[in-house]
């Protein structure tokens, strides 16, 4: 699951129209995600994919996890590793709060400290990137 979290952390692609940038708390670019779900690192190297059905794939198209419609995040064995609530609260598998994704794209840790920015990116995608990949 660490591979999934690390890969999702680099969400985005500025090289493509409608690509969104994933930033650190100091506004440094971490990566990009293209509108087609292709995930790139900050050098625009492809590191993975988020499919329209919620499947998370590595760069070789191997399945490394799933984002369910209800906000449940699973690993490749379909074991729940976390949850993203409709209000942006991110929880671990035991329902302990590990962070928040605000409506404006600000990403906060459990103490409400800003750890990054993911403007224009689905809350579930941002949560996977920041809290489950552990870049």
- Of 133 and 44, which is predicted with more confidence? 44
Quick one: tokens of 109? 């840790």
Question: 114 pLDDT exceeds 70?
Answer: yes
Question: 66 pLDDT exceeds 70?
Answer: yes
Domain boundaries, the chain: 2-132
Q: Tell me whether residue 111 is exposed, middle or buried, using C-beta atoms within 10 angstroms of its C-beta: 0 to 12, 13 to 18, 19 or more.
A: exposed
- Nearest Cα residue to 66 out of 58, 54, 57: 54
Mean pLDDT (the chain, rounded)? 84
What is the band of 8 on the pLDDT scale with cuts at 50, 70, 90?
very low
**Torsion sign (Cα): 60, 35, 118, 69:** negative
pLDDT digits (tens, 9 = 90+) for 12-55: 323 334 679 999 999 999 988 888 888 888 999 998 888 999 99
pLDDT above 70 coverage of the chain, percent: 84
Tokens 């890969």 identify what position?
7
pTM of the model: 0.79
Mean pLDDT of all residues in 98-126: 94
Mean pLDDT of all residues in 98-122: 94
pLDDT at 18: 64
């Amino acid at each position: 699951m660490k591979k999934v979290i690390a890969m999702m952390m680099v969400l985005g692609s500025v090289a493509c129209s409608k690509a969104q940038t994933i930033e650190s708390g100091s506004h440094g670019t971490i990566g990009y995600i293209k509108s087609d779900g292709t995930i790139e690192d900050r050098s625009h190297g492809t590191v993975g994919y988020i499919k329209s059905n919620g499947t998370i794939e590595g760069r070789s198209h191997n399945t490394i996890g799933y984002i369910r419609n209800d906000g449940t995040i699973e690993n490749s064995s379909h074991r729940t590793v976390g949850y993203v609530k409709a209000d942006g609260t991110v929880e671990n598998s035991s329902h302990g709060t590990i962070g928040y994704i605000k409506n404006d794209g600000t990403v906060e840790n459990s103490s409400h400290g800003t750890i990054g920015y993911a403007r224009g990116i689905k809350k579930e995608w941002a949560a996977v990137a920041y809290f489950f990949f552990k870049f």
